[in-house]
Chains A and B, each alone.
Chain A
Amino acid sequence: MKPMVLQDTPALAIDNITKEYCQWQRSGNARDIIKNLLHPEKRVVTALDHISLQIKKGEFVAYAGANGAGKSTTIKILSGILMPTEGTVSVLGLNPAKDRVKLMSHIGVLFGQRTELWWDHPVISSFQWKKEVWNIPDSVYKENLEMVTDLLDLSDILKTFTRELSLGQRMRADIAMLLLHSPELIFLDEPTLGLDVLAKQQMIRFLKKINLENKTTVVVTSHDMDDLEEMAQRIILINKGRIAFDGDFDELRNVMGGFYRIVLTTAKEELPLSIPGMRLLKTESGVHEYEFDRNVLGIHKVMGLLSEFPQILDMEIKKAPIEDVVANLYLSWREN
């Protein structure tokens, strides 16, 4: 699969964009009915607040944030569905608001909670519809259809009506359709939402493969941080419409203190050990999990400390789950 057009420009560049919405306020009291009719109370919600960022071609970027942080709004602005209140956006060198039709030939957008497939038609009919609407040349369509059918294991469902697909099958078919026109850049809004473990793994493997082999730029939003870490090289976290973090996942852990986890196994009747510099997180049937800051307590020091406890039968050191790191981050933002 080769991109249909190549341009020497960043995949996308956002310069100082702001997006404000107006939110109606209601007190819920009957006595306010007249007031609501004559002078409704409105509140301006700043979904994006002077955001600037660039994504290079071929990058796989996770775009994350808590509910209402502005993720979907950004995707909609980048797709030309919404216009920013201020600031400029360039996607593959084009202005999404002005060059929407041209831009859509080169990008793909998938909203995970919706489907682009035709509900009352077999999957293959949706693919053929895409071929006509996107005016995909026969050779490109054939090559891509074979590729997605093979990689996403679609051969069994191509002739099945969309309404009869399971969620996992539907998502696979949606992703496949997204790629039929060889987009250079794809936006995926929660593509793993609701998928079971196997379907999720298959989806992640596939996305990594097309990013790696076809150099397709991928921007993905999700609430599942483990999925994002498995897929993306870079994570952009937004909070209250602003970029709170932009870097790789290890940097993100370091920002939160470089915390690591250590799981110690002792005999079942053994009480948790008190180890200096480590915080006990949980203990169950002789398995005790601790957290420590690697910047304060290096691995060699940890090993030295543990050697003084002969009751330890087994141990495992691992990075703090990214879910927990981000959860702590969200919590700290909320408290601030």
Chain B
Amino acid sequence: MVDNFKILIRLYRQYAKMDLLWFLRDTRYFFIQLVSDVVSGGCTIAGVCLLSANFKNFSGMTQNEILFMMGYALFIDGIFMVFFMGNNTGMVSRIIGRGQLDHIMIQPVPLWAELLAQGFSPVSGSPIMIFGTGLTVYGAIRAGLPINAFTILLFLFYSICSIVIVMSFIYLISCSAFYAPAAAEEIAGVGKELFSSLKTYPLGNMKGFQKHIFLSLIPVGLCAWLPSTLLINAGKYGLEAVFVPKALYLPIAAAIFSFIAIITFKKGMKYYETYGSPRYSGFGHR
């Protein structure tokens, strides 16, 4: 366990270094990327601000609370960019479908450690996270939410739960690439797009079946709306708003999703090791 942790740290350090070197590989590329990230981040924030300005008490949330939720959503996207965007780690169906697991399996490190670390891009992936953090703080101040150690820790905890759900969902659907490598090669992108486009939609006024679906099978509501309302409640009512069934649902859902994703991925790996040569797959391989 300690050894594996050391391996993980070593890998994170190496990928951080490689990301920095890649980002600074060329002055021209560096400035182009810097400008494009600033423009992209600015557009995201502008879009969100304009949207929130037009919706007062939309779906049970005030304009500033929606702004805070947008900030949370952007922060989750930022975590994805920093930890999972590099080397197709977040688009794991590509790694599976293109037979690139072979490259990882010939490395003397556990598969999970390499898959966890190789996407780490703390430099090139950070702009969205910085914008997300800024917007969250701005939204929290505008909404009158206290910013202290308790709310920051709770925010980070819920953020981890949300990103675990996003990644588990992406891994879960990406496992289909074990069985249909060519057909499912891009399915992780579809999963990611689902969260990007739907997670900022407030579910407050949604009733019954639809709401349950978005909080369970298609868990987009767990990656911005639910944690934001939980954080807003925690900011208003303190600790007593944290240990309620509604607040515990998020970490429990994250645990369940990650458990199912790990089991499914292990099954997929077993299939890959048994029937692995994509050459003989009925769905073909390039």
Compute the total of residue contacts between A and B using a CB distance below 8 Å.
80
Which of A97, A101, A121: most chain B CB closer than 10 A? Answer: A101
Q: What DSSP secondary structure best describes chain A's contact surface?
A: mixed
The answer to whether A73 has its CB under 8 Å from any CB of chain B is yes
In whole angstroms, how far apart are the Cα atoms of A222 and B109 in the complex? 29
Chain B 96-115 interface mask (CB, 8 Å, partner A; 1/0): 00000111011111100010
B14 — which chain A residues lie within 8 A by C-beta? 128-129, 132-133
Known: A79-B106, A104-B108, A132-B11. A125 touches B277 (CB 8 A): no
Chain B positions 87-137 with a Cβ under 8 Å from a chain A Cβ: 101-103, 105-110, 114
Q: Which of A77-129 contact B (CB under 8 A)?
A: 79-83, 85, 97, 100-105, 109, 111, 114, 116, 118, 120-121, 125, 128-129
Whether the Cβ atoms of B108 and A134 lie closer than 8 Å is yes
Task: Identify A118's interface contact among B7, B18, B281, CB under 8 A.
Answer: B18
Q: Knowing A101-B110, A109-B106 touch, does A82 contact B276 (C-beta < 8 A)?
A: yes
A121's partner among B22, B103, B109, B276 (CB-CB below 8 A) is B22
Q: Are B108 and A22 neighbours in the complex by a CB distance under 8 Å?
A: no
Within 8 A of A (CB), among B143-184: none
Give Cα distance in the complex from A22 to B275, angstroms: 7
CA of A104 to CA of B109, assembled, Å: 8
B22 to chain A, nearest CB (A): 6
- Whether A23 pairs with B280 at a CB distance below 8 angstroms is yes
Q: How far is the CA of A21 from the CA of B272 in the complex (A)?
A: 11
Query: Is A76 engaged at the interface, CB distance under 8 Å to the other chain?
Result: yes
Closest to A134 in B: B108
Within 8 A of B (CB), among A34-89: 40, 42, 45, 47, 72-73, 76, 79-83, 85
- A332 CA to B275 CA, complexed, in Å: 30
Whether, in the assembled complex, A283 has its beta carbon less than 8 Å from a beta carbon of chain B, the answer is no
0 or 1 for each of A184-203: is its CB under 8 Å from B? (1 = yes):
00000000000000000000
Q: Which residue from chain A places its CB closest to the CB of B99 in the assembled complex?
A: A114
Minimum Cβ distance to chain B for residue A49 (Å): 15
Within the complex, the shortest CB–CB distance from A82 to chain B, in Å, comes to 5
A24 and B282: CB pair below 8 A? yes
The answer to whether A22 and B280 touch (CB under 8 A), given A100-B105, A101-B110, is yes
> A73 contacts which chain B residues (CB < 8 A)?
277
CA distance A100 to B269 in the complex (A): 14
A101 to B274, CA, bound (A): 18
Task: Please state if A81 and B18 are interface contacts (CB–CB under 8 Å).
Answer: no
- Chain B, residues 1-19, CB within 8 Å of chain A (1/0): the string is 0000001001101100010
By the criterion CB–CB under 8 Å, are A79 and B105 in contact?
yes
Q: How many residues of A contact B (CB 8 A)?
A: 38
Q: Does A135 contact B (CB under 8 A)?
A: yes
By a CB distance below 8 angstroms, the chain B residues around A104 are 106-108
List A contacts of B25 (CB < 8 A): 120
Residues of chain B within 8 A of A121, CB atoms compared: 18, 21-22
User: Bound state CA distance, A22 and B103, in angstroms?
Assistant: 24
A82/B282 in contact, CB under 8 A: no
CA A102 to CA B13, docked complex, whole Å: 22
Q: Report yes or no: B282 in contact with A80, Cβ–Cβ below 8 A.
A: no
Task: Name A106's closest neighbour in chain B (CB-CB).
Answer: B108
Report the Cα distance A293→B282, complex, angstroms. Answer: 47
> Quick one: CB contact mask for B254-286 with A, threshold 8 Å, 1 for yes?
000000000000000000011111001110000
Instruction: List the B side residues contacting A114 at CB < 8 Å.
Output: 102-103
Cβ-defined contact, A129 with B18, below 8 A? yes
Q: A102-B108, A105-B108, A133-B14 are in contact. Are A81 and B102 (CB under 8 A)?
A: yes
Contact: B109 with A81, CB < 8 Å? no
Q: Chain A nearest CB: distance from B232 CB in Å?
A: 42
Instruction: Give Cα distance in the complex from A76 to B101, angstroms.
Output: 12
Give min CB distance, A80 to chain B, whole Å.
7
Across-interface contacts of B101 in A (CB, < 8 A): 81
**CA–CA, A135 and B11, complex, Å:** 10
Name the interface residues of A219-254: CB closer than 8 Å to any CB of B.
none
A133 touching B22, Cβ below 8 Å: no
- Known contacts: A73-B277, A83-B273, A118-B18. The answer to whether A23 contacts B282 by CB under 8 A is yes
* A81: chain B residues within 8 A (beta carbon): 101-102, 105-106, 273, 276
Most buried by A among B105, B106, B109, B282: B106
Measured between beta carbons, the chain B residues less than 8 angstroms from A128 are 14
B102–A111 CB distance below 8 A: yes
Given contacts A118-B18, A125-B21, contact A21 B275 (CB under 8 A): yes
Contact assessment for A76 and B21 in the assembled complex, using a CB-CB cutoff below 8 Å: no
CA distance A102 to B3 in the complex (A): 13
Q: Give chain B residues whose Cβ lies under 8 Å from the Cβ of A47.
A: 277, 280
Which of the residues A79, A80, A135 comes within 8 Å of B10, measured between beta carbons?
Answer: A135
Chain B residues in 8 Å Cβ range of A109:
106
Residues 40-90 (chain B) with a chain A CB within 8 angstroms = none
Which residues of the partner chain A approach B277 to less than 8 Å between Cβ atoms? 21, 47, 72-73, 76, 82
A45 touches B280 (CB 8 A): yes
Contacts of A134 in B (CB 8 A): 107-108
* List of A residues within 8 angstroms of B11 by Cβ: 132-133
Pairs A–B under 8 Å by Cβ, sample size 15? A21-B275, A24-B282, A72-B277, A80-B105, A81-B105, A82-B276, A97-B273, A101-B110, A104-B106, A105-B108, A116-B103, A118-B18, A132-B13, A133-B11, A133-B14
| A-B contacts besides A76-B277, A104-B108, 7 pairs, CB < 8 Å | A22-B280, A76-B276, A104-B107, A105-B108, A133-B10, A133-B14, A133-B114
What 9 A-B pairs come out closest when comparing CB atoms? Answer: A24-B282, A104-B108, A21-B280, A132-B14, A105-B108, A83-B273, A109-B106, A82-B276, A81-B105
